Amino acid sequence: MLYNPKWEEKINVAPTWRSVLFRAAEIVRERGLAKNHLRDGLGRVCVHGAIQVVIDGNTYPDHRMGPLEIESCQALCNYLQQTGAEGIVAYGAAHWNNEPSRTADEVIAALEGAARS
Residue 42 has pLDDT above 70, yes or no: yes
pLDDT the model gives residue 23: 98
Backbone dihedral region for residue 44 (phi beyond 0: left; psi -120 to 50: alpha; all else: beta): beta
Q: Which residue ranges make up each domain of the chain? A: 15-116
pLDDT the model gives residue 61: 75
pLDDT the model gives residue 11: 64
pLDDT, tens digit (0-9, with 9 covering 90-100), for 81-90? 999 998 888 8
Q: Which residues contact 58 (CB under 8 A, 6 or more apart)?
A: 52
pLDDT the model gives residue 28: 98
- Three-class SS state of 44: coil
Mean pLDDT over residues 26-46, rounded? 97
